[in-house]
Amino acid sequence: MSVQEKAGRGLRIVIKLGTSTLTCGSRHLNRAQMLEIVRAAAQLRAQGHQVAVVSSGAMAAGRERLNDPALPPTLSSKQLLASVGQGRLIEMWESLFDIYDIKIGQILLTRADLESRERFLNARDALEALLEHGIVPVINENDAVSTQEIRVGDNDNLAALTGLLCAADLIVLLTDQKGLYSADPRTNPDAKLIERVEDIDDRIIALAGGAGSAQGTGGMSTKVQAAKTACAAGIELIIASGRDPTVLVDLVNGKGECTRFVPQSRAQHARKLWLQSATRVSGTLTVDAGAAQAITAQGSSLLPSGISAAAGDFPRGAVVAIADAQGRVLARGIARYSSSELNQIKGRRSEEIEAVLGYSHGAAAVHRDDLVRL
């Protein structure tokens, strides 16, 4: 069922707002622009939809609050601006949504909140509670305490993960471009807008290119990554220009200039989506040809006998990549043994595990229930 077919019963929509959209290309947040976004969100809610907002702009708000300070281009400077600006940003959103008598609730996340299955589920429950009570969640990366999390495209992927968390029907990424083009429209006048993508293949990934505007931390590449995550979950994702926020209502109704990424007909299991999209690997298990075939073609568990090498230093329960002899990553899974244990039992039959280690956590090194093919 398409988003437009679902619209009659009310959609759950995640709207991601990039810094360039919130500032209109300036160095400071544009309140008139933000009000237009709120007005569109209020219209969507009046039509029976639920709305969550993933908002960039904390550093821009901090820069304005501190009167454009001259700071070195360091991580600590970004954290300083985010720390000062985060409260200012949420205050602006609250005052604007108040105009329409809409309550908001702030959720600050770090990657660690999503990598831990328990914390992932806690974040999901918090989002669900806000939406069910008619409150608009305003989500952002907790940049004031993040380190590697402040990077290109951070909030694009956060929007996709938010879609997973709240089982969204639609994710809209508003940016400074109308969507994905056949070439870079900033340098090629013959570039054509790609209106619909049904398969995110190597050609689409190559077209996405690199980073975007100087003000934000996003680029088309990370938007396509976000689309891949969303589509695997059965969620439609739209990339559209945020120049005129009133387009939001049209986009939900199947109109407007944009690129629509159409989801797969069947979504992956939620746990495997979390494993594929919200976690980071701690090591790599290299497998032989037989194990590679069993995993990719049959969806089998990975047994110690198929492992030829275990790289990295990780504990039992860590997320690991599974690669073939040529280094191609085939899958990702949760290891039932630590790296030191796997290096002792690699290449051995499962019935030998207890004799080698003195105990056993089961026959599989990575069970198929904890494994997702890539």
Closest C-alpha among 199, 211, 114, 218 to residue 161 = 114
Ordered per-residue pLDDT tens for the chain, 374 residues = 666 666 666 899 999 998 999 999 898 999 999 999 999 999 999 999 999 999 999 999 999 999 999 999 888 898 899 899 999 999 999 999 999 999 999 998 877 777 777 788 888 899 999 999 999 999 988 765 555 543 434 789 899 999 988 989 999 999 988 999 998 887 888 999 999 999 998 899 888 875 444 433 347 888 999 999 899 888 999 999 999 999 999 999 999 999 999 987 666 677 787 888 878 899 999 999 999 999 999 989 999 999 999 999 999 988 999 999 999 999 999 999 999 999 999 999 999 999 999 999 999 999 998 898 87
Q: Cβ(105)–Cβ(138) under 8 Å? A: yes
* Whole-model pTM over 0.85: no
Q: Which domains does the chain have, with CATH numbers?
A: 3-271 (3.40.1160.10), 281-373 (2.30.130.10)
146 exposure class (CB count in 10 Å sphere: 0-12, 13-18, 19+) = buried
What pLDDT is recorded for position 4?
A: 64
- Helix residue ranges per DSSP H, 270-361: 270-277, 289-298, 339-345, 353-357
CA angle 207, 171, 51 (to 5 degrees): 155
Residue 29 tokens, joined = 């947040």
Q: Is 302 left (phi over 0), alpha (psi -120 to 50) or beta?
A: beta
Q: Does an H or E element contain 162, and which?
A: helix 154-166
Task: State how far the Cα of 51 lies from the Cα of 42, in Å rounded to an integer.
Answer: 9
What is the identity of the amino acid at 345?
A: I
Task: State how far the Cα of 348 lies from the Cα of 345, in Å rounded to an integer.
Answer: 5
Closest C-alpha among 173, 179, 176, 140 to residue 156 = 173
What pLDDT is recorded for position 152?
A: 33
Task: State how far the Cα of 231 lies from the Cα of 265, in Å rounded to an integer.
Answer: 9
Task: State how far the Cα of 23 lies from the Cα of 19, in Å rounded to an integer.
Answer: 6
Q: Three-state SS for 171?
A: strand
Residue 334 tokens, joined = 């949760």
Residue 219 tokens, joined = 């680029």
Closest C-alpha among 83, 244, 262, 238 to residue 172 = 238
